[in-house]
Structure 1
């Protein structure tokens, strides 16, 4: 593929089709699951019950650690989590990475709004014995959605080398969030799976939509960082 001047088009100018297709499919899958759940909540509750009991009723030592972790992760969908997201947006603004700032904000807002709309539509009851404050319906998990959006946004902002270590790290954080919400009986397991898939899907769709601009901005940032590093090692080279 060439541009008007006959030169090979930059790979960063092409949107990966799979990114949009997979992301859109994940969102559609969650909406479809929500529709099925809305038709028969009792059947889904029976399927979820065994998994929820296994996660919620752990060994006492494990249970203590899980309680501490769950309380810490519960704050992610309140002001500490919002401050973390605001700090990330602030860093992107200071770096003048406006496309990444727009993508991060769009992913967070898209995830929250989509999650809330599905919650209102499905209106699933939460498990009994919830150990944390809850204020809306159960499906999908808002905490899991926001955590998944966070994982995708961080990966979106990192270079290819850093992404290799971030994806497994972010995946572990997301799984910890999902299990913690089941452990404190705030959600059924299927709620957290749906929330994670929704957040990942929204993030992938936003990434696909802004992919050319994001990649060009990322390459520009990596170039500036590389020039700055070389200038620090050899000031004379920076003047050439």
Structure 2
């Protein structure tokens, strides 16, 4: 059974998650209207650092993550995970994971369109036009953090951290995103996972409590 403890349980967890999503949106506004969609000093420094790297194994890994982490692939992966959980009758986990990925991807797409930040011009793989936030990293964070909340183990959190970090770094290694794009995306995906998980478990706990109270009331009446 999915159970969130302090500080992730609602309402605190939902507040933290919502704050993360809002923070990313506000950061996008700063990128668009304050920075005029230009890269920051840190963006430029990190981009130049990545451009100077040349490692065959890293290149192969980054290109694999580019393909595997795309919309079609991750949609299929999410669908398979949700399907397996439904067959296993883990309804709450399946809904939380599926809803998290859909919402995170949707918010990411809307922000990309509204902010319209250009990508670096020297990207080494074909990608779309808009850069902020990184869609690959958003979905990676949303899916993996939702899975870690659904099945909280040390190893699930470790895998989540490794996968999200690898995806984020691969996007900058391929020169298709600024570092601020992937940082914002990681926060967005993780925050959405926390928001959905906290709200859903809160609603379920409320219904379970109400059901238990009703059963107790019926028993008291029948025994009197």
Contact 1:23 1:202 in 2 (8 A): yes
**Partner residue in 1 for 2:185:** 195
The answer as to 2:202 corresponding to 1:209 is no
Determine if contact 1:145/1:196 at 8 Å carries over to the other structure: yes
Q: Using the TM superposition, give the Cα deviation of residue 106 of structure 1 relative to its aligned residue in structure 2, in angstroms.
A: 0.9
Q: 1:55 aligns with which of 39, 50, 67?
A: 50
RMSD: 2.3
Higher alpha-carbon deviation: 45-54 or 166-175: 45-54
1:80, distance to aligned residue in structure 2 (A): 2.8
Alpha carbons 1:144, 1:195 under 8 Å: kept: yes
SS state at 1:124 partner: coil
Superposed counterparts of 1:22-101, under 5 Å: 22-39=16-33, 40-41=35-36, 43-58=38-53, 60=54, 63-75=55-67, 76-101=69-94
Q: What CA deviation, in whole Å up to 9, does each residue of 1:75-133 have, x standing for no partner? A: 21243322221110111110122222211121011001100111111100000111122
TM-score where L is the length of structure 1? 0.76
Rate the CA distance shift 1:196–1:13 in 2: closer, same or farther, 3 A.
closer
The separation in 2 between residues aligned to 1:192 and 1:176, in whole angstroms, is 11
Q: 1:128 aligns with which of 121, 124, 138?
A: 121
Deviates more, 1:35-44 or 1:69-78: 35-44
Unaligned runs of 5+ residues in structure 2 are 207-224
Partner of 1:106: 99
**What are the superposed Cα offsets for residues 129-166 of structure 1, whole Å, 9 maximum, x if unpaired?**
111221241000000000001111211221x4xx2221
Mark the CA change 1:13 to 1:193 in structure 2 (over 3 Å): closer, same or farther.
Answer: closer
Equivalent residue, structure 1, for 2:222: none
- Give the alignment of 1:157-172 within 5 angstroms: 157-158=150-151, 160=152, 163-172=153-162
Following superposition, the deviation at residue 43 of structure 1 comes to: 5.0
Shift of 1:184: 0.6
Query: Which of 143, 149, 158 is 2:142 aligned to?
Result: 149
Alpha-carbon shift at residue 54 of structure 1 (Å): 1.0
